[in-house]
């Protein structure tokens, strides 16, 4: 029977972490929490106590302004091969809880299953406004069947394949989970674009890696490196159209500010890379 390690990377977020750990209490067998940089001593102690009370282990790592560089370290600390990857501002849908309980009581999945994806509905600050979009959020994977390099926006890459499930993972931050304001006015988005641009000046193997040995970038990043201005324009114009088509296909309604976000974000990443390379 497969056992699961719940791995969470946080920056402060004490109340949300407490909410998540209470929500997911009987859905995992091991807990690892990594803090992105030092926090105030009292807050760090509160987070540590939350984790220790649930039998977990708490680590403080150098500040990276993103969680992805911490994942290889965190996965190494995990006692089990199956990693449940959640963020502090997420909650498990009841059906997902039941599925995770069954998963832990059933035989090990086939060796060609690297992990599972779920639906990640849009959140408007008070409620979920979609039911089937977006899909493809990797929430559970086998750490010996994926490869990864630690850069913001990068996800684990399957050795074989991820199985797509109709389960729902609720993303419930204190703000909207979508929209141009997230991209244009949120400090974290500026930091992510900066660290991505700086990372793209080098090689993926320069970053914290998990089973990743290829010095070549995946095509989505290599296109930015080769032709940043052309890629910025293409993604700004084409990706929103594709996003709105995909959104309409799944939801039969449109929220343009959500559908265009990916294209705008990648346009800004490409422009930022062009600037730092030029500088």
Give 52-65 pLDDT, tens digit per residue. Answer: 999 999 999 999 99
Domains annotated on the chain, with CATH: 4-171 (3.90.550.10), 180-278 (no CATH)
**pLDDT, tens only, 120-176:** 999 998 998 888 888 899 999 999 999 999 999 999 999 999 999 999 999 999 888
Q: Which pLDDT score, from 0 to 100, does residue 259 have?
A: 85
Q: Which pLDDT score, from 0 to 100, does residue 270 have?
A: 98
Beta strands 157-158; 146-149: pairing state? antiparallel
pLDDT of 9 higher than 90:
yes
Contacts of 259 (CB under 8 A, 6+ apart): 240, 243, 244, 246, 247
Helix axis angle for 261-278 and 187-200, nearest 10°, is 50
Q: Which pLDDT score, from 0 to 100, does residue 222 have?
A: 98
Q: Could you tell me the pLDDT band of residue 30, with boundaries at 50, 70 and 90?
A: very high
pLDDT of 117 higher than 90:
yes
209-210: strand order across its sheet: 157-158, 146-149, 209-210
Helix (H) or strand (E) holding 113: strand 113-119
Q: Could you tell me the pLDDT band of residue 42, with boundaries at 50, 70 and 90?
A: confident
Which spans in the chain are helix H? 14-23, 41-53, 71-77, 94-103, 180-184, 187-200, 219-226, 228-251, 256-259, 261-278
Contacts of 1 (CB under 8 A, 6+ apart): 104, 105, 106, 107, 108
Residue among 267, 244, 266 at smallest CA distance from 256: 244
Greatest Cα-to-Cα distance within the chain, rounded to the nearest angstrom:
55
Q: Which residues pair with 33 in a beta bridge?
A: 8, 58
Q: Which pLDDT score, from 0 to 100, does residue 102 have?
A: 97
135-142: strand order across its sheet: 57-61, 30-36, 4-10, 82-85, 135-142, 113-119, 161-171, 90-92
Q: Could you tell me the pLDDT band of residue 179, with boundaries at 50, 70 and 90?
A: confident
Please give the C-alpha separations between residue 83 and each of 165, 177, 221, in angstroms, as whole numbers: 16, 24, 25
Mean pLDDT, to the nearest integer, of 23-34? 96
pTM value? 0.94
Contacts of 249 (CB under 8 A, 6+ apart): none
Q: Which pLDDT score, from 0 to 100, does residue 273 have?
A: 98
Please give the C-alpha separations between residue 14 and each of 33, 44, 98, 260, in angstroms, as whole numbers: 12, 9, 26, 32
């Amino acid at each position: 029977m497969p056992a699961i390690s719940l791995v969470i990377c946080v920056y402060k977020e004490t109340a949300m972490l407490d909410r998540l750990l209470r929500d997911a209490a009987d859905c995992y067998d091991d807990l690892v929490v990594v803090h992105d940089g030092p926090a105030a001593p009292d807050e760090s102690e509160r987070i540590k106590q939350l984790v220790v009370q649930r039998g977990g282990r708490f680590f403080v790592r150098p500040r990276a302004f993103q969680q992805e560089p911490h994942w290889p370290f965190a996965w190494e600390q995990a006692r089990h091969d199956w990693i449940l990857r959640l963020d502090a501002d997420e909650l498990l849908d009841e059906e997902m809880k039941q599925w995770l309980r069954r998963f832990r009581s059933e035989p090990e999945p086939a060796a060609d299953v690297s992990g599972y994806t779920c639906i990640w509905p849009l959140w408007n600050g008070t409620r979920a406004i979609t039911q089937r979009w977006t899909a493809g959020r990797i929430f559970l994977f086998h750490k010996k069947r994926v490869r990864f390099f630690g850069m913001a926006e990068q996800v684990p890459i399957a050795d074989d394949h991820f199985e797509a499930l109709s389960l729902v993972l609720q993303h419930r931050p204190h703000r909207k989970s979508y929209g141009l304001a997230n991209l244009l006015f949120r400090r974290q988005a500026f930091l992510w674009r900066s660290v991505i641009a700086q990372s793209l000046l080098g090689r993926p193997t320069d970053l914290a890696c998990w089973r990743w040995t290829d010095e070549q970038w995946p095509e989505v990043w290599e296109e930015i490196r080769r032709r940043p201005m052309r890629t910025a324009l293409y993604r700004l114009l084409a990706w929103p159209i594709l996003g709105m088509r995909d959104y309409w296909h799944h939801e039969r309604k449109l929220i343009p500010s959500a559908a265009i976000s990916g294209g705008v974000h990648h346009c800004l990443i490409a422009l930022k890379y062009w600037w730092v390379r030029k500088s």
